[in-house]
């Protein structure tokens, strides 16, 4: 899974195509993400002890990871990403277009550190 919670992503397919928003949850086993303000649906609630009036609750539903791209602040758009190890041996994501780093994924590992 290429996405983490609080990543900025751009939606590329569906009714909300072109929207840039934040990832709220990642559902790794299903291959889906919940994006803030995207794919909103109404859940109708019956009156109950907790909610005496009932009504409609608006909530975000998951969308497939193939419909979103990680947002690069340098390119200012959704981009494809790659993985690489930096000089200290930390694994990081990077933008394939501008080669800018998009976040560290792991702790430094001696096996992948550049020998000096």
List of domains in the chain: 8-44+57-112 (2.30.30.30)
Grade residue 58 by pLDDT with cuts at 50, 70 and 90.
very high
Among residues 26, 40, 114, the alpha carbon closest in space to that of 70 is found at 26
**pTM, rounded to two decimals:** 0.82
Is the model's pLDDT at 111 over the cut of 90?
no
What is the pairing mode between strands 32-35 and 20-27? antiparallel
Is the model's pLDDT at 76 over the cut of 70?
yes
Is the model's pLDDT at 116 over the cut of 70?
no
Q: Residue 6: left if φ>0, alpha if ψ -120 to 50, beta else—which one?
A: left
d(CA 108, CA 98): 24
Report yes or no: 83 and 105 within 8 Å, Cβ to Cβ: yes
- Reduced to 3 states (helix: H, G, I; strand: E, B; else coil), residue 112 is helix
**Average per-residue pLDDT in the chain?**
92
């Amino acid at each position: 899974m290429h996405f983490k919670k609080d990543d900025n992503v751009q939606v590329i397919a569906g009714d909300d195509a072109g929207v840039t928003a934040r990832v709220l949850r990642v559902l790794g086993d299903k291959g889906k993400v919940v994006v803030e303000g995207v794919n909103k649906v109404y859940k109708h609630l019956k009156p109950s002890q907790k909610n005496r009036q009932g009504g409609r609750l608006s909530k975000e539903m998951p969308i497939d990871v193939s419909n979103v791209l990680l947002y690069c602040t340098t390119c200012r758009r959704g981009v494809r990403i790659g993985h690489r190890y930096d000089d200290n041996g930390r694994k990081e994501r990077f933008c394939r277009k501008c080669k800018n780093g998009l976040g560290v994924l792991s702790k430094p590992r001696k096996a992948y550190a550049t020998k000096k």
